Amino acid sequence: MGASISQPGAASVVRDVLEQAIWKGSGMIEIEKNVPMPMRRQRYPWRQMKVGDSFVVPGKTSGAFSGAKRAAAKATGFKFATRNVEGGVRVWRVA
């Protein structure tokens, strides 16, 4: 018979350690724990905008930009309006 482990959860800890050792020894990708994720770079200044502020996105149209506008409105709770302008789309914070 095999050795018994008296603590609950100890078997899963042993299994995790063995799995990590196998992965590490095989030259495969190592799983790391508690590595902080870097902050995402904001492409557009949604959260810094005040009502009445605007910016231009070169090379885009209002239709092509609608998904980004909708996602920003959902994430911030702000309302935005877009209009096609020469060379791109202008985005205003309206509420």
Which pTM does this prediction carry? 0.59
Q: Which amino acid is at 28?
A: M
d(CA 71, CA 48): 16
Report yes or no on 48 lying in a domain. Answer: yes
Over residues 40-47, the mean pLDDT reads: 88
Q: Work out the pLDDT band at 26, boundaries 50, 70, 90.
A: low
Structural tokens at position 20? 């990590």
Residue with tokens 């810094």: 48
Query: Does residue 44 register a pLDDT over 80?
Result: yes
Check residue 76 and give its pLDDT.
Answer: 94
Asked if 55 and 43 touch (Cβ cutoff 8 Å), the reply is no
Query: Does residue 29 register a pLDDT over 60?
Result: yes
Report yes or no on 2 lying in a domain. Answer: no
Q: What is the extent of the structural domain holding 81?
A: 10-93
Check residue 6 and give its pLDDT.
Answer: 54
Check residue 52 and give its pLDDT.
Answer: 97
Q: Which amino acid is at 43?
A: R
Report yes or no on 1 lying in a domain. Answer: no
Kindly report the CA angle at 76 between 74 and 82, in degrees rounded to 5? 70
Report yes or no on 4 lying in a domain. Answer: no
**Domains: count for the chain:** 1
d(CA 58, CA 63): 13
List of residues 6+ apart from 65 with CB closer than 8 A: 57, 82, 89, 91
Share of the chain above pLDDT 70, in %: 80
Q: Work out the pLDDT band at 86, boundaries 50, 70, 90.
A: very high
